[in-house]
Structure 1
Amino acid sequence: MIVIETSRLLLRHYTHEDLHSLYTIFSDPETMTYYPAPFSMQQTQNWIQRNIDRYEHDGFGLWAACLKDSKEFIGDCGLIKQQVNGSTEIEIGYHISKKHWSKGYASEAARACKEYGFGQLGLKKLISIIVPKNMASIRVAEKIGFIKEQEVFIFNKTHYIYSGSKAKD
């Protein structure tokens, strides 16, 4: 099911058929630099299932990101609930295959998810949780209009919280 369409991308629900394409991304040490370790096949399968469950329970999750023209799977982007300092926040998260880095896909997908969250879901605030050394993700957050809000200790290390709020009508 396609959730969001941009000029170059389709964001759609994950299916179990995405396992091998996603594993290619998640098993790559460079792509997963800011995670504790690259993912195993089982961890990747669990990731897909967690997102399928999120669609049912939350009405959103991370979605498979595919090139619109070729339908090639290039990563994921979407919205997920996170606990930050005792509050439930909605994060825009993304992972793009390194062969597609520096082409603006993460920014395009994240901007579309921001618009979806504020428009379709009526959210008032969105965040991105970013490891301080992850300059590419910081640039994506800034390109979509997020600003650094705070530094927190989450997921066993320090992260920056970038955020954006819905413009007042």
Structure 2
Amino acid sequence: MYILETDRLILRQFKDDDMPSLHSIFSDSETMEFYPAPFSFEQTQNWIKRNQERYQECGYGLWGICIKESNELIGDCGLVNQKVDGKTEVEIGYHINKKYWSKGYASEAAKGCKEYGFYQLGINKLISIIDQRNLPSIRVAEKIGFIKEKESFVFDKNHYIYSGSKNT
């Protein structure tokens, strides 16, 4: 199911047949550098299933990013509820196939998700949880207007919390 469209991208709900494309991204050690380890086939299957459940429970989750011209799935981006310092926050998360890095796709998708969260869902504040060493993800957060709010211990290590509000 189609969620949103940007100049070059379509974001849509994951389908079960997205598994091979998504696993090629999540099984790559460079792409998953800031995760504990690359994903196994089963972990990628669970990722898709968990997001499909989020669509039903929350009305959002991580969506597949497809290039408009080719309909190729090149990653994911979307909105996910996360616990940060005991409070539930809505995070914009993203992963892009490394052959498409440095082309502005992550920023374009994240900006679309930010606008969707603020104007379609009425969320007032969004965050991104970013490993302190992940400079490309920090740049994406800054490009969409997020600023570093704080550092927090999330996912068993310290992360930067970047955030943006609807009214700023």
Q: Same fold (TM over 0.5)?
A: yes
What is aligned with 1:89? 89
Tell me the secondary structure at the aligned position of residue 55 of structure 1: helix
What is aligned with 1:140? 140
Matches of 1:2 and 1:136 in 2, distance apart?
A: 27
What is aligned with 1:102? 102
1:167 partner letter? N
TM-score using structure 2 length: 0.99
Matches of 1:155 and 1:58 in 2, distance apart?
A: 21
1:59 partner letter? G
Matches of 1:27 and 1:69 in 2, distance apart?
A: 25
TM-score using structure 1 length: 0.99
Deviations 1:36-88 (A, max 9, x none): 00000000000000000000000000000000010001000000000001100
What is aligned with 2:58? 58
Tell me the secondary structure at the aligned position of residue 137 of structure 1: helix
RMSD across aligned positions (CA): 0.6
Runs of 5+ unmatched residues, structure 1: none
Deviations 1:1-41 (A, max 9, x none): 11010010000000110011000000000000000000000
- How many residue pairs match? The answer is 168
Q: 1:11-160 to 2 correspondence within 5 Å?
A: 11-160=11-160
Runs of 5+ unmatched residues, structure 2: none
Identity %: 66
